[in-house]
Structure 1
Amino acid sequence: MEFSDLARGNDKRELRKGRSHLQPAVTLPFSFYPTNLPRRPESFDNIYLDLSTQPGKCKLAESGLGWRPSGGGDTFTLDSNNIGAAQWSRASKGFELKILSRSSGVIQFDGFDQEDFERLSKAFKIWYGINVESREHAIRGWNWGKAEFTKAELAFNVLNRPAFELPYSEISNTNLAGKNEVAVEFALSADQANGTQPAGSTKNRGRKAAAGPDELVEMRFYIPGTVVKTEKGEVEKEGDEEEEEEGEAQNAANLFYETLMDKAEIGDVAGDTFATFLDVLHLTPRGRFDIDMYESSFRLRGKTYDYKIQYASIKKFFLLPKNDDTHTLIVLGLDPPLRQGQTRYPFLVMQLKLDEEISLELNMTEELLESRYKDKLEARYEEPIHQVVTKIFRGLSGKKVIMPSKDFVSHHGHSGVKCSIKANEGLLYFLDKSLIFVPKPATYIQIENIAVITMSRVGGAVSASRTFDITITLKSGMGQHQFSNINREEQQPLEEFFKAKNIKFKNEMSDDTGGLIAAAFDNEDMSSDEEGGRPDRGSADEDEESVDEDFQADSDSDVAEEYDSAHESSGGSGSDAEMEDASDADEADAMSEEEEERPKKKSKVGK
């Protein structure tokens, strides 16, 4: 109700009762009439919040705005003091109102009609003192443009118009995929559930488009050229020579990567580092990483890739000794799995030396150690590195350490059995409630899901007499796993373990046939050994200790890429040399034959 309507129904002369004569009504100045009188709240129906699958009702009031789903659920509210800017543009479901908040990133409201712009702009102007900016997106479809880092999002502009925007809160990681290429990974629904976000953030509702069948998980930017970074800003390399002398030339992709890391706060973790382990060898994914351990997460820093993993993502924690009695494996089961490009790693496999000791003092106050980590962590450690890493991970994550079962000991007194999954060699460990194969591909099988285990011989006569395979069939049609090239001597320990755990198994191997085959080829094997040749016996050749050393040395090397699939099998350790010798012998024979034939041809010509 306007101020002038308050006196419209009254007689103006009654306002001047008691006066001797009538006077004309006093006209108030126009500036006196208030223009910011309280308005009724504005409400809009069928509005989608942050691409939610369910619409709701959006209401604007003087104190702030709110959104409630139509089918019931949590209500989202945003205080008026937290609204920094607002933008209006066309979107997928009509028109979109994008709000840049001061503390919780970007909030998107989609589903408005074009006629709603006037009501929204008036409400934002009167209540929040903000002008709603109307923006038009680039629709040319070009995949080249200019990247602009704003306060809350990364905008990709084409001809000075935004083609798309990437909120920093949606970016989980970024890596240098090449010399001029930067990969940007986006947060998944599981990542959002584990992460902690400030109040008012859209992450707390879990109603993102990730609930749908498809989701964008990675985007790559190709950024050529170099730039010169000065105190005033970044200047292209082709700029003035004076500015180039002041600054330092830098790869444009590296600058983009560093800026995105800073804006998205990927490398920054709340709190100080409790402990740091340098140059730790990882078998999955392959490479060496520095491990920084924080209060709620740990960070892997490598030459190419950088990861931040929450302790809440650790579902399983294994400590597995290797058969070489020199190394031990620390295996972390992650959910959601670690992503590197299009490859997922549900298990993180570290390899540490048993005889390497470390002296470490935790960067933690005594009050925090006593109040939160009492009987879980110690102030100082001076032990082998694998024990220190295990104790700190167990104390910070609160996960129980799973070790090999005491019910199983291999023929050679080890906890693991050497075997293969297709062409990948590794160790199969038998735990109290599960089986696990490491390092690649890391395979975890729960005993309660096993229907039957079949022991059989596959392959030629020689390999079949000394190795066998086991096929694990899972319940309810969950598939099966086959482990091949197991030493024949491990049959009895495996059968005893299966009986102890009440696992149903069947033996399809014939002992009589195997004995006859082994006896028939004994003479041939002896003759081949005497002549210096050696048959390929696969990973069952326990006498060839260099196999595990070769695999170990290969693992200890600095490997930057995971996609290096050059795995050496035990029987192929000398294959390259044998092939070279064979090729040299063939060439020598061919040359001798040519020398013998040449004089014959000359004699024919002479005749």
Structure 2
Amino acid sequence: MLKSLLRGESYHVSTLSPLGTAALRQQVNLCAFHAVNMETFNDIYLNLSKKHGVTRFAESGFGWKPTSGGEGGTFTIDASKIISAQWSRAARGWEIKVLSRDSNEGIIQLDGFKQDDFERIAKLFKVWYSVNLESKEHALRGWNWGKAEFGKAELSFNVANRPAFEVPYSEISNTNLAGKNEVAVDFSAPNENGADTNGSLGGAKSRGKKALGAKDQLVEMRFYIPGVASKKEKNDEGEEIEDGEQGEEQNAANLFYETLIEKAEIGEVAGDTFATFLEILHLTPRGRFDIDMYENSFRLRGKTYDYKIQFDAMKKFMLLPKPDDMHSLIVIGLDPPLRQGQTRYPFLVMQFKRDEEVNLDLNMKEDMLETKYKDKLQSHYEAPISVVISDIFRGLSGKRITRPSRDFISHHEQSGVKCSIKANEGHLFCLDKAFMFVPKPATYISMDSIASVTMSRVGGAMAASRTFDITFTMKNGQNEHQFSNINREEQQPLENFFRAKGIKTKNEMADDSGAILAAALQDEDLASSDGEVANRGSADEDDESVDEDFKTESESEVGEEFDENHESSGSDSDEEMADAAGDSDAPAEEEMVERPKKKQKMAK
């Protein structure tokens, strides 16, 4: 009968029972649906991409392709990888959210469907993928309190048992305890160039990254979680057992923090730890962090903050010997920068003792060391810790180590000069193609962006004769960089380096040298002169000079009661001194007896 119906033959279904009629119609719809090989939907956006495309569903899976074309923009997924699907209202209409078994894909969002497409899409998911397309309504009450639930691939914040918003784990770059009951969640920063990815998946962990929809992007969210909670037992697959035994009660914020670290894979990075260095002093950001090195990233573990940084985010790597002959600095430039609340740190500055050596066996298999990291890493290290860390960073990340230029040697035969930016003291290092000031604020100045350098003296005559300032004027109207309080002896080495690098240099110190010398000589004359100016403020003269306004006790015009009042203010101390001496004069005793009477007279 079904084949006849599909061929167009007519039958009277009134003779069938109501149950049989419904079943027959359902089978007819399914058979008609099987006859269609593909379903196509236009103007669909993949993962919040800027460009719309065409989505095609087939029995083997579904795919998306941008309308404008271009290589690398097509995305496909097999039917066997689809775990679940959800239908809900979204920004550009209605959205299908698909959960994939592949951890690299996570959640796939298809936005731009019409409400009338629901029945059509629900049928194809049921028939082809054996998945029920669940329809969910979002909470629209505007409440800022609710319940956070951890799903397989995302964190859902529910209000009145309806999702208010969802946060994919792949978009979470870091989390930390901001307070006793507060947890801060950092999201992956947007690309600096703002390039559209056409829906390609990358993300905070090189996966799950949503294409940029606008220049403004949410980068941090904080949850206030009061009270206590207990952790439930988990099965072999890592899912919580509802009827399982409850563990020990602990702070609810701590439990939320630990669960989020586990779900978002922040605490444990995929792969083995190749090397670990404990309690490394960081000048920027200030504190001590443990460094764990992995194949594609490294992790900073501190008491308060915990960061996971991809090697792709490392743009610069510098090994700088500190001019104190005791320490070495490792400076790592990051893009996007490290964040602590509202503060951004585009550079990591680590400090090591030069005489501190370390013995380290690299935790890496021999075949991997011989094939992938041959001539890049060693199985065993025995050298100063700064050298070991820099070599491992270079081998794993492939970044070149930048060192100070050999063309510059300071007056004290060092690679950097001591100076300051405003009130912050530090050292300025001369590199082959740039200047680097550390530790705070870490400032990198490329020579290609420098228009000119001005050397000048700022301050008093004596101060200017010992130190000078240099100001970097930048091209294209960028902000100037001024470094002050540089030792006068470093002028010639710096000036020679600027000329060797072809940087336009202006020396304003030669113009005012005569005036400064005259002022310095005048100060010397003032210091050695015997005139009135030199003798002012002399302690000897104050002791011997006579003050005409001063009058002795007999000449004083101050009233007697006020005079005696003045003496009475020190009566306590006089009495203590008399007791300490053990011998007091008779007039002093009479005076002590008469004082209360005069106080009574003043009261009247």
TM-score interval for Structure 1 and Structure 2 normalised by the shorter chain: 0.7 to 0.9
Q: How far apart are residue 437 of structure 1 and its match?
A: 0.3
Q: State, as a whole percentage, how many aligned pairs show the same letter.
A: 63
Q: Which residue does the alignment assign to 1:364?
A: 364
Do the aligned residues in 2 keep the contact of 1:155 with 1:162 (CA within 8 Å)? Answer: yes
Q: Residue 76 of structure 1 aligns to which amino acid in structure 2? A: F
Q: Residue 116 of structure 1 aligns to which amino acid in structure 2? A: D
Q: Deviations over 1:45-94 (max 9, x none)?
A: 11111111111111211111111111113211111111111111111111
Residue 55 of structure 2 corresponds to residue 41 of structure 1: no
Q: 1:160 to 1:435 in 2, by over 3 A?
A: same
Q: Residue 343 of structure 2 aligns to which amino acid in structure 1? A: T
CA distance in 2, matches of 1:32, 1:178: 57
CA distance in 1, matches of 2:193, 2:467: 47
Q: Which residue does the alignment assign to 2:425?
A: 425
Q: 1:208 to 1:270 in 2, by over 3 A?
A: closer
Secondary structure of 2:212 counterpart: helix
Q: 1:169 to 1:6 in 2, by over 3 A?
A: closer
Q: Which residue does the alignment assign to 1:166?
A: 167
CA distance in 2, matches of 1:192, 1:255: 37
Residue-pair matches, total: 510
1:167-186 to 2 correspondences below 5 Å: 167-186=168-187
Q: How far apart are residue 476 of structure 1 and its match?
A: 2.3
Q: Which residue does the alignment assign to 1:347?
A: 347
Q: Residue 487 of structure 1 aligns to which amino acid in structure 2? A: N
Q: 1:315 to 1:507 in 2, by over 3 A?
A: same
CA distance in 2, matches of 1:339, 1:595: 68
Q: Which residue does the alignment assign to 1:451?
A: 451
CA distance in 2, matches of 1:428, 1:303: 31
Secondary structure of 2:272 counterpart: coil
Secondary structure of 1:598 counterpart: helix
Q: Which residue does the alignment assign to 1:539?
A: none
Q: Which residue does the alignment assign to 2:495?
A: 495
Q: Which residue does the alignment assign to 2:87?
A: 88
Q: 1:149 to 1:377 in 2, by over 3 A?
A: same
Q: 2:56 aligns with which of 46, 55, 59?
A: 59
Secondary structure of 1:126 counterpart: helix
Q: How far apart are residue 283 of structure 1 and its match?
A: 0.7
Do the aligned residues in 2 keep the contact of 1:417 with 1:428 (CA within 8 Å)? Answer: yes
Q: Which residue does the alignment assign to 1:534?
A: none
Residue 567 of structure 2 corresponds to residue 599 of structure 1: yes
Q: Which residue does the alignment assign to 2:385?
A: 385
CA distance in 2, matches of 1:360, 1:598: 78
Q: Which residue does the alignment assign to 2:376?
A: 376
CA distance in 1, matches of 2:93, 2:50: 15
Q: Which residue does the alignment assign to 2:552?
A: none
Q: Deviations over 1:378-435 (max 9, x none)?
A: 2111111111112211222222221112222222222111111112111101112110
Q: How far apart are residue 600 of structure 1 and its match?
A: 7.8
Secondary structure of 1:115 counterpart: helix
Q: Deviations over 1:279-326 (max 9, x none)?
A: 000011111000111112111111111111122222211111112211
Q: How far apart are residue 247 of structure 1 and its match?
A: 3.5
1:264-413 to 2 correspondences below 5 Å: 264-413=264-413
Q: 1:219 aligns with which of 218, 221, 241?
A: 221
CA distance in 2, matches of 1:468, 1:128: 75
Q: Residue 496 of structure 2 aligns to which amino acid in structure 1? A: E
Q: How far apart are residue 486 of structure 1 and its match?
A: 1.2
1:91-170 to 2 correspondences below 5 Å: 91-103=90-102, 104-170=105-171
CA distance in 1, matches of 2:164, 2:25: 44
Q: 1:97 to 1:477 in 2, by over 3 A?
A: same
Do the aligned residues in 2 keep the contact of 1:78 with 1:200 (CA within 8 Å)? Answer: no
Do the aligned residues in 2 keep the contact of 1:297 with 1:311 (CA within 8 Å)? Answer: yes
CA distance in 2, matches of 1:251, 1:84: 33
CA distance in 2, matches of 1:471, 1:485: 12
CA distance in 2, matches of 1:183, 1:475: 39
Q: How far apart are residue 31 of structure 1 and its match?
A: 12
CA distance in 2, matches of 1:193, 1:150: 30
Q: Residue 45 of structure 2 aligns to which amino acid in structure 1? A: Y
CA distance in 1, matches of 2:258, 2:65: 38
Q: Residue 378 of structure 1 aligns to which amino acid in structure 2? A: Q
Do the aligned residues in 1 keep the contact of 2:407 with 2:497 (CA within 8 Å)? Answer: yes
Do the aligned residues in 2 keep the contact of 1:457 with 1:467 (CA within 8 Å)? Answer: yes
- Which is further off, 263-272 or 249-258? 263-272
- The CA RMSD measured in Å over matched residues stands at 3.3
Q: Residue 598 of structure 1 aligns to which amino acid in structure 2? A: H
CA distance in 1, matches of 2:565, 2:486: 52
Bigger relative contact order, structure 1 or 2 (CA pairs below 8 A, ≥6 apart) = 1
CA distance in 2, matches of 1:344, 1:75: 35
Q: Residue 85 of structure 1 aligns to which amino acid in structure 2? A: S
Do the aligned residues in 1 keep the contact of 2:280 with 2:290 (CA within 8 Å)? Answer: yes
Q: 1:515 to 1:171 in 2, by over 3 A?
A: same
Structure 1: state its 5+ residue gaps: 11-28, 234-242, 528-593
Secondary structure of 2:463 counterpart: helix
Q: How far apart are residue 517 of structure 1 and its match?
A: 2.7
Q: How far apart are residue 4 of structure 1 and its match?
A: 1.0
Q: 1:344 to 1:32 in 2, by over 3 A?
A: closer
Q: How far apart are residue 3 of structure 1 and its match?
A: 0.7
Q: Residue 66 of structure 1 aligns to which amino acid in structure 2? A: G
Q: 1:253 to 1:32 in 2, by over 3 A?
A: closer
Q: Residue 42 of structure 1 aligns to which amino acid in structure 2? A: E
CA distance in 1, matches of 2:8, 2:521: 119
Q: How far apart are residue 524 of structure 1 and its match?
A: 7.2
Q: How far apart are residue 518 of structure 1 and its match?
A: 2.9
- Which is further off, 344-353 or 368-377? 368-377
CA distance in 2, matches of 1:86, 1:32: 22
CA distance in 2, matches of 1:53, 1:32: 39
Q: Residue 599 of structure 1 aligns to which amino acid in structure 2? A: E
- Which is further off, 133-142 or 180-189? 180-189
CA distance in 1, matches of 2:221, 2:369: 41
Do the aligned residues in 2 keep the contact of 1:148 with 1:154 (CA within 8 Å)? Answer: yes
Secondary structure of 1:521 counterpart: helix
Q: Which residue does the alignment assign to 1:482?
A: 482
Q: How far apart are residue 604 of structure 1 and its match?
A: 9.0
Q: Which structure: larger Rg?
A: 2
4+ long deviations beyond 6 Å: 6-10, 29-34, 191-194, 204-207, 523-527, 594-597, 600-607
Q: Residue 512 of structure 1 aligns to which amino acid in structure 2? A: G
CA distance in 1, matches of 2:308, 2:78: 31
Q: Residue 464 of structure 1 aligns to which amino acid in structure 2? A: A
TM-score of the pair, normalised by structure 1: 0.78
CA distance in 1, matches of 2:192, 2:455: 41
Secondary structure of 2:48 counterpart: coil
Q: How far apart are residue 465 of structure 1 and its match?
A: 2.4
CA distance in 1, matches of 2:377, 2:278: 20
Do the aligned residues in 2 keep the contact of 1:273 with 1:363 (CA within 8 Å)? Answer: yes
Q: How far apart are residue 222 of structure 1 and its match?
A: 0.8
Do the aligned residues in 2 keep the contact of 1:154 with 1:165 (CA within 8 Å)? Answer: yes
Q: How far apart are residue 225 of structure 1 and its match?
A: 1.2
